[in-house]
């Protein structure tokens, strides 16, 4: 066999290997990553008014603490798929619609204020946790309401489709508190019910309550009270069983938390004035959050 023939066979061999390799890579992509690769688009779910997690900024752009994680995940997808020009679309979701729209493939993942719990794990997947909250009440500072017992027979508002709604119903029935529960569709509407006197208290995650309080004309008129009814962990939500996409999400989140990048994001959104109106959550980082950043994990706390 002459040199020319040998070279020809070698080139053909490399070409075949290239084809095989390319095919293998394509076969390795599964679930959401395969969908994104095929479509050239990633659809990101977000909240519209979950200050300071995921909400609209001055120019209707999506901003917030959770959105910082969302952006990191999008960048990780671009790098993984070698698609720097990947098209990114944003889809607003609510507490009631977020799971259904995820599972019918309307969007690909969501980083907002979604609690990771065992019940939800039956139908969706969760990334590593991005936040840990305590469920408490927001009331008027001069209301003399300081505990759950003080709310007997009163109106309490909590956002529809949340774990807070479920927990309040359970406690109300068990303790026979005769609380009348109001359930608007989002946190902004819930706080409006409190501000206008239609409810005596607003039950929600303390970080979200701090966000709503910061939007008040006079934030000092409102206080967060009571021992937490529970602790909950927020995670970014993805479709159940999507191992490959979860691994990518978990790594992006863990890298941010162990590198100090997540702490910078926390301080930006919870200890300093935030757009669009310069509100300050005044919420120093908790020991549970410090522990999470040191040891990233995807544990549900219920």
In tens, the pLDDT along 232-267 reads 999 999 999 999 999 999 999 999 999 999 999 999
Rounded to an integer, what distance in angstroms lies between the CA atom of residue 109 and that of residue 125? 10
Strands 41-46 and 87-92: parallel
What gap in Å lies between CA 302 and CA 293, rounded to an integer?
A: 20
**Domains (range + CATH), the chain:** 29-132+234-294 (3.40.190.10), 133-231 (3.40.190.10)
Mean pLDDT of the chain: 91
- Asked if residue 207 lies in contact with residue 214, where contact means CB atoms within 8 angstroms, the answer is no
Q: What span, in angstroms and rounded, lies between the C-alpha atoms of 70 and 278?
A: 22
Q: pTM here? A: 0.80
| Residue 6's pLDDT band (cuts 50, 70, 90) | very low
Please state, in angstroms and rounded to a whole number, the distance separating the CA atoms of residues 81 and 94: 29
Calpha distance 97→113 (Å, rounded): 13
- For residues 154-182, one letter each, b for 16 or more C-beta atoms within 10 angstroms of the residue's C-beta and e for the rest, the string is bbbbbbbbbbbbebbeeebeeeebebeeb
Q: What is the pLDDT of residue 1?
A: 52
Q: Are 54 and 64 in contact (CB under 8 A)?
A: yes
State residue 10's pLDDT score.
42
Taking residues 176-193, what's their average pLDDT?
95
What is the torsion angle, in degrees rounded to the nearest 10, for the CA atoms of residue 186, residue 191, residue 197 and residue 195? -140
Read off the pLDDT of residues 129-171 as tens digits, 9 standing for 90 and up.
999 999 999 999 999 999 999 999 999 999 999 999 999 999 9
């Amino acid at each position: 066999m002459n040199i020319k023939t040998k070279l020809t066979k070698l080139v053909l061999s490399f070409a075949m290997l290239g084809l095989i390799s390319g095919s293998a890579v394509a076969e390795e992509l599964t679930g959401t990553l395969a969908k994104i690769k095929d479509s050239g688009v990633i659809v990101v779910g977000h909240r519209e008014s979950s200050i300071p997690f995921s909400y609209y900024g001055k120019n209707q752009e999506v901003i917030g603490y959770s959105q910082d994680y969302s952006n990191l995940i999008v960048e990780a997808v671009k790098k993984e798929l070698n698609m720097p020009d990947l098209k990114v679309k944003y889809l607003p979701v609510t507490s009631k619609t977020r799971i259904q729209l995820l599972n019918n493939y309307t969007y690909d993942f969501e980083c907002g204020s979604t609690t990771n719990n065992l019940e939800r794990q039956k139908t969706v997947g969760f990334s590593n946790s991005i936040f840990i909250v305590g469920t408490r009440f927001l009331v008027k500072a001069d209301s003399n309401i300081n505990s759950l017992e003080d709310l007997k027979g009163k109106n309490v508002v909590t956002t529809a489709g949340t774990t807070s709604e479920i927990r309040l119903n359970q406690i109300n029935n068990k303790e026979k508190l005769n609380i009348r529960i109001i359930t608007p569709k989002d946190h902004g509407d819930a706080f409006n019910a409190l501000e206008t006197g239609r409810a005596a208290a607003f039950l929600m995650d303390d970080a979200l309550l701090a966000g709503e309080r910061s939007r008040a004309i006079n934030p000092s008129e409102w206080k967060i009270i009571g021992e937490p009814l529970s602790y909950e962990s927020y995670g970014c939500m993805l479709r159940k069983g999507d191992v490959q996409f979860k691994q990518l999400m978990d790594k992006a989140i863990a890298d941010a938390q162990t590198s100090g990048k997540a702490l910078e994001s926390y301080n930006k959104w919870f200890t300093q004035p935030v757009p669009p109106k310069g509100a300050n959550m005044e919420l120093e980082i908790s020991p549970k959050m410090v522990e999470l950043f040191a040891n990233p994990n995807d544990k549900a706390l219920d």
